[in-house]
Structure 1
Amino acid sequence: MSEKYLFSHWLNLFCQVTLAGCSTFLVLATPTITNFSGSKLLGETAISQDLQAASFFQQGVTRYNRKDLQGAEYAFRQALQRDPSLGAARNYLGNIFMEQNRLDIALQEYTEAIRINPNLSEAYYNLGLVLHRQGEKDAAITAYRQSLVIDSTRVAALYNLGLVLYEQGQLQEAIAAYQQVINLDSSYANAYFNLAIALQQQGQTELAIANYRQVLQLDPKNATAYNNMASLLAVHGQASEAISVYRQAIRQNPKNASAYYNLGVTLYNQGDIKKASGVLKRAYNEYRQQGNIEQVEKIEQLMQQIAQKAGQQQPQASQTATPAQSSDSTSNVVQTPQSNTPNQPETPANPGDVPVSVEPQSTSTSPGQ
């Protein structure tokens, strides 16, 4: 692909993007800090033939890593005055503006970085982050894929590509992206987590459970993974293990209203009305503290049902479904990633950065990260 074509393509893309949008998004996290050795940076990478430009660039990197964004911006602009061909400096400026949530300016800087250096994988990746956050998902997919054309091992681009493909309803493609992430980095807990969710959506329960188990080997404190896996176990007829796993979720997060609710439903289905009642009361209190009136009302209805059965002394577990089957509980069983943190996947990339794992991608209630 020629430089002229790439510049024309991305200039057109830039002009078409709606800059005002800023939706909640699960791909951004705190920027990765990379420590560069000055001699390595100047001696090995030969960032510029202009020594003064190279020196300012080095200062910019140092200040950026120290979170001195204002000082970093000044240094990068000084470097660009002396050497306008420094695409890496434009990429860093884009990162600075992204951290400040000035997405329209970040988009311009990444687009300019690509114009200067059409082979800068980091800039395409970062452009994808901005477009994704602005809701330009098709354009984000294109940017992530172009980043991967240049560097097929960029795990962050593969991971975020999986996220946006999932959001676009392209489950099979998302699954393939997450599997590639895992092939490159078998310790990436978030990739297993999101892969499990996508498999769950496709009805591949056993494979989803296997991937949740892998998440928990890598991240034993992931309460959401325990909760999700337990719900699948319950649906799969493995109620005893499901109960145990729900309790693990609660141990990791004692305020996990969803886990209390699903545990209560499962206990009730097993005929243990007394324990079910106590657990559901805890779920009721947690949801009430959260202000989740809809769930509070659902639990009230279920508690009335339990009270009637307790009065009859004839508990019939068959009248209440498992968490994934009941209309009272489907909103509590995570089947899709949620935005926020969850969490939050990948970060703006700098030249030379190695993508790192991030915090859990999803929580337990709504579609997503």
Structure 2
Amino acid sequence: MPLVSKKSQSHQWLRWFLKVAFYRSRGQQKPLFRLLFASSVFLVLAGTIINYPGSKLLAQKPISQDLEAASFFQQGVMRYNRNDLQGAEYAFRQALQKDSNVSAARNYLGNICLQQNRLDEAVQEYAEAIKVNPNFSEAYYNLGLVLHRQGEKQAAITAYRQSLVINPTNPTTLYNLGLVLYEQGQLQEAIAAYQQAINLDNSNANAYFNLAIALQEQGNIEMAIATYRQALQLNPKNATAYNNMASLLAIHGQPAEAISVYRQAIRQNPKNASVYYNLGVTLYNQGDIKKANGALKRAHNEYRQQGNIEQAEKIEQLMQQIAQKKEQQQPQVNQAATPSQTPESTNKLEQTPVPETQNQLETPSETPASPSDVPVSVEPQSSSTSSGQ
């Protein structure tokens, strides 16, 4: 019998666990998994949690009936807030030795593990948190977060969805769910998740941006353009959004506005070779050969500086072909081209725009302009604050 690594066994168990959790909980509001954890076969994991954006854990009962556990927990919180992660971890583990059911300590330990890139330990902490409190939606969210980072995307989807079964109105869970669904190629479901996230929080520029990308790939050009506009209203410095929107405007028969939007993209990022290339092609298709050559020359120089010699040589060939046609001054107006394409003829430059980038995981500690997957803790309001034991 072939040997299986402990990590592989853990992930196999976790995928089964999440699958059972999700399907057993549909239509239920009662605590989940009580029967699952009654078995002595259950894999005991060392546990934690991370809280998601805007979540507040209200004081329902004391953090622990054990005064020593409560004291160690408070010490851990203070050290964590001072970025003394080693001291905080020691204090939280001391609290758990006194009382293994302090869910808030599990939460902070998970934060520490994730910040230190101890991802397998973080997974274990979240699983232990779920064992203590099967209705802990934040624990499922955080489990999804770390699984997503590990590349366990299907398991992450299941964890995010389980979090939404318990708390369906958290926009960040929906946002991250949309992101991983998009990465899995499930465009329609990703679009639905982003739209729900926006309905709950219409101030998230990244949600609009990622929704626009998904709509663009789906072929819904008009809706994608409108959504890029909304993203840029919230974040007018997003050069990629300008570039993507301009490409869509060009193929949608709005070249004049496309040229203007490409120039806005350049103002935000003067080193973006693909924007210069797209601008040059659009200008060429509009018959402005002189300005087209200027933009293509800048694209050529930027690609060379980036070390992309292959693309620079393609642009050289294109410029030579345009020069041969310059006397005719009769370019056929069509659509802009992406940096990765070489036109079949200089009379017809076509584009199938591909979104440049997709935003990464968002958590409450970061602004939408620079999302990351660093966890955030919700501090207890007093020594009697509960974290959802």
Q: TM-score, normalised by structure 1?
A: 0.80
Q: Distance in 1 between matches of 2:271 and 2:52?
A: 31
| Other-structure match for 1:190 | 206
| Other-structure match for 2:255 | 239
Cα deviations by residue, 1:182-225 (Å, 9 ceiling, x for unpaired)? 00001111010011011111111000000000011111111111
Counterpart secondary structure, 2:311: helix
* Residue 44 (structure 1) shift: 6.3
Q: Distance in 1 between matches of 2:213 and 2:107?
A: 33
Counting helix residues as a fraction of each chain, which structure ranks higher?
Answer: 1
For residues 77 and 302 of structure 1, do their structure 2 counterparts lie closer, same or farther at Cα, with a shift above 3 Å needed?
Answer: same
Percent identity of paired positions between Structure 1 and Structure 2:
71
Q: Distance in 1 between matches of 2:155 and 2:52?
A: 24
After TM superposition, list the pairs within 5 Å mapping 1:315-330 onto structure 2. 315-318=329-332, 321-323=335-337, 327-328=341-342
| Other-structure match for 2:280 | 264
Aligned length, in residue pairs: 329
The answer as to 2:369 corresponding to 1:359 is yes
Q: Distance in 2 between matches of 1:159 and 1:83?
A: 35
Matching residue within 135, 140, 151 for 2:156: 140
The one-letter code of the counterpart of 1:76 is F
The answer as to 2:215 corresponding to 1:199 is yes
Q: Distance in 1 between matches of 2:296 and 2:339?
A: 17
* Residue 359 (structure 1) shift: 2.6
Retained in 2: the 8 A contact 1:222–1:252? yes
Q: TM-score, normalised by structure 2?
A: 0.76
Cα deviations by residue, 1:209-250 (Å, 9 ceiling, x for unpaired)? 000000111111111111111010001010000000000011
Retained in 2: the 8 A contact 1:190–1:360? no
Structure 2 gap segments, 5+ residues each = 1-24, 26-31, 46-50, 344-349, 373-389
Q: Distance in 2 between matches of 1:269 and 1:45?
A: 69
Q: Distance in 2 between matches of 1:133 and 1:337?
A: 17
For residues 99 and 177 of structure 1, do their structure 2 counterparts lie closer, same or farther at Cα, with a shift above 3 Å needed?
Answer: same
Retained in 2: the 8 A contact 1:277–1:303? yes
For residues 3 and 126 of structure 1, do their structure 2 counterparts lie closer, same or farther at Cα, with a shift above 3 Å needed?
Answer: same
The one-letter code of the counterpart of 2:127 is T
Q: Distance in 2 between matches of 1:299 and 1:200?
A: 26
The answer as to 2:240 corresponding to 1:224 is yes
Retained in 1: the 8 A contact 2:76–2:87? yes
Q: Distance in 2 between matches of 1:6 and 1:186?
A: 39
The one-letter code of the counterpart of 2:337 is P
| Other-structure match for 1:289 | 305
Q: Distance in 2 between matches of 1:13 and 1:282?
A: 59
The one-letter code of the counterpart of 2:34 is K
Structure 1 gap segments, 5+ residues each = 16-30, 348-353, 363-369
Q: Distance in 1 between matches of 2:230 and 2:213?
A: 13
| Other-structure match for 1:123 | 139
Retained in 1: the 8 A contact 2:251–2:335? no
Matching residue within 202, 211, 227 for 1:211: 227
| Other-structure match for 2:355 | 335
For residues 297 and 260 of structure 1, do their structure 2 counterparts lie closer, same or farther at Cα, with a shift above 3 Å needed?
Answer: same
For residues 358 and 71 of structure 1, do their structure 2 counterparts lie closer, same or farther at Cα, with a shift above 3 Å needed?
Answer: farther
* Residue 61 (structure 1) shift: 2.3
The answer as to 2:100 corresponding to 1:84 is yes
Cα deviations by residue, 1:37-66 (Å, 9 ceiling, x for unpaired)? xxx98x766222222212222222232233
| Other-structure match for 2:121 | 105
* Residue 269 (structure 1) shift: 0.8
The one-letter code of the counterpart of 1:359 is A
Q: Distance in 2 between matches of 1:14 and 1:306?
A: 68
* Structure with bigger gyration radius: 2
Retained in 2: the 8 A contact 1:262–1:332? no
Cα deviations by residue, 1:160-181 (Å, 9 ceiling, x for unpaired)? 1001111111111100000000
| Other-structure match for 2:296 | 280
* Residue 335 (structure 1) shift: 2.4
Cα-Cα RMSD: 3.1
Cα deviations by residue, 1:324-348 (Å, 9 ceiling, x for unpaired)? 598338999442644xxx4x3323x
Q: Distance in 1 between matches of 2:199 and 2:131?
A: 32
For residues 280 and 171 of structure 1, do their structure 2 counterparts lie closer, same or farther at Cα, with a shift above 3 Å needed?
Answer: same
Q: Distance in 1 between matches of 2:268 and 2:43?
A: 45
The one-letter code of the counterpart of 2:369 is E
Retained in 2: the 8 A contact 1:267–1:273? yes
| Other-structure match for 1:24 | none
Q: Distance in 2 between matches of 1:355 and 1:150?
A: 23
Counterpart secondary structure, 1:152: coil
* Residue 254 (structure 1) shift: 1.2
The one-letter code of the counterpart of 2:311 is Q
Q: Distance in 2 between matches of 1:5 and 1:303?
A: 70
Retained in 2: the 8 A contact 1:182–1:191? yes
Q: Distance in 2 between matches of 1:14 and 1:170?
A: 34
The answer as to 2:188 corresponding to 1:172 is yes
Cα deviations by residue, 1:85-125 (Å, 9 ceiling, x for unpaired)? 01221222122111111111111111111111112212111
Retained in 2: the 8 A contact 1:196–1:208? yes
Which one is further off, 210-219 or 96-105?
Answer: 96-105
The one-letter code of the counterpart of 1:358 is P
Q: Distance in 1 between matches of 2:352 and 2:134?
A: 45
